[in-house]
């Protein structure tokens, strides 16, 4: 649960503003596991509810597209939404409302934005060597012990000959 206390702003006059620092070590948002969710949110009381705006940094657990190992992908969430007032009907567009105790659970919003922020092909590290097509082993962890046969392009052979010739000259 990503709990945001809105007990003051929800009952304030339209135009009232508040700034909130969010810091959550770990959160399970639907099927996504997030860690280190943090950032600053600007809250503004608007006619329809409380508008929230801000940037949150987090790391989302995903799987490397190359080596299939789970890892945490850094994701920046640009939150820009409106939280409905207590008693308002929940809709697909407005899936979050302030409950009668004065707080809201941001889980549906954060989940949606976190998905949007995830790359289509997340890579655990720029130099991830991936899975060996021969044995299926992870090349990063030494699971694959296949000997790579390096074939030298004949054009490079010619160049090498040229270079060694000039060395001798
Ligand atoms: Zn990888
Ligand atoms: Zn291999």
113 and 69 fall within a common domain? yes
Closest ligand to the CA of 136: 2
Does 35 map to a domain? Answer: yes
Mean pLDDT score, 106-133: 93
Residue 123 CA to ligand 1 centre (angstroms): 5
> Which tokens in the block code for residue 53?
């705006």
Decide the pairing of beta strands 17-29 and 3-5.
unpaired
Residue 152 CA to ligand 1 centre (angstroms): 27
Give the total number of structural domains in the chain: 2
Residue 107 CA to ligand 2 centre (angstroms): 42
Closest ligand to the CA of 142: 2
Task: Note the pLDDT of residue 166.
Answer: 58
Closest ligand to the CA of 141: 1
168 pLDDT above the threshold of 60 = no
Does 146 map to a domain? Answer: yes
Share of the chain above pLDDT 70, in %: 89
97 and 138 fall within a common domain? no
Close Cβ partners of 114 (under 8 Å, ≥ 6 residues apart): 29, 32, 34, 58, 60, 75, 77
18 and 99 fall within a common domain? yes
Q: Nearest-CA neighbor of 33 among 24, 45, 44, 23? A: 24
User: pLDDT tens across 33-91, in order?
Assistant: 999 999 999 999 999 999 999 999 999 999 999 999 999 999 999 999 999 999 999 99
Question: Which band of pLDDT confidence, cut at 50, 70 and 90, is reported for residue 169?
Answer: very low
Residue 127 CA to ligand 1 centre (angstroms): 8
Interior angle at CA 95, CA 63 and CA 83, nearest 5? 110
Task: Note the pLDDT of residue 150.
Answer: 62
103 and 46 fall within a common domain? yes
Residue 115 CA to ligand 1 centre (angstroms): 19
Residue 147 CA to ligand 2 centre (angstroms): 8
110 and 139 fall within a common domain? no
* Range with the poorest average pLDDT among 23-37, 97-111, 154-168: 154-168
102 and 133 fall within a common domain? no
Domain that holds residue 168: 129-169
Residue 139 CA to ligand 2 centre (angstroms): 7
> Which tokens in the block code for residue 135?
């044995």
Query: Phi/psi of residue 110, each to 5°?
Result: -65, -40
* Range with the poorest average pLDDT among 56-70, 89-103, 150-164: 150-164
Mean pLDDT score, 111-118: 92
Helix (H, G, I), strand (E, B) or coil at 74: strand
Distance CA 124, CA 73 (A): 7
User: pLDDT tens across 10-30, in order?
Assistant: 999 999 999 999 999 999 998
Beta strands (DSSP E) in the chain are: 3-5, 17-29, 32-46, 49-63, 70-84, 103-105
In eight-state DSSP terms, residue 9 is G
User: pLDDT tens across 79-88, in order?
Assistant: 999 999 999 9
Task: Note the pLDDT of residue 65.
Answer: 96
Decide the pairing of beta strands 32-46 and 49-63.
antiparallel
Closest ligand to the CA of 144: 2
Question: In residues, how long is the chain?
Answer: 169
Task: Note the pLDDT of residue 147.
Answer: 78
94 and 153 fall within a common domain? no
Does 122 map to a domain? Answer: no
76 and 15 fall within a common domain? yes
User: Could you tell me the pTM of the whole model?
Assistant: 0.77
149 pLDDT above the threshold of 70 = no
Look-up: residue for tokens 């959550």? 24
Residue 26 CA to ligand 1 centre (angstroms): 23
Residue 126 CA to ligand 1 centre (angstroms): 8
87 and 67 fall within a common domain? yes
Closest ligand to the CA of 122: 1
Helix (H, G, I), strand (E, B) or coil at 155: helix
49 and 106 fall within a common domain? yes
């Amino acid at each position: 649960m990503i709990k945001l206390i809105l007990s003051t702003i929800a009952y304030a006059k339209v135009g009232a503003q508040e700034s909130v620092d969010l810091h959550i070590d770990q959160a399970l948002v639907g099927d996504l596991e997030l860690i280190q969710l943090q950032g600053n949110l600007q809250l503004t009381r608007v006619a329809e509810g409380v508008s929230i705006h801000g940037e949150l940094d987090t790391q989302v657990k995903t799987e490397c597209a190359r080596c299939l190992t789970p890892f945490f992908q850094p994701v920046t969430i640009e939150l820009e939404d409106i939280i409905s007032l207590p008693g308002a009907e929940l809709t697909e567009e407005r899936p979050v409302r302030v409950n009668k105790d004065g707080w809201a659970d941001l889980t549906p919003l954060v989940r949606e934005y976190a998905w949007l922020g995830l790359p289509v092909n997340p890579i655990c590290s720029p130099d991830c060597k991936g899975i060996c097509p021969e044995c299926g082993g992870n090349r990063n962890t030494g699971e694959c012990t296949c000997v790579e046969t390096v074939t030298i392009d004949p054009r490079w052979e010619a160049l090498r000959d040229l270079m060694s010739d000039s060395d001798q000259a």
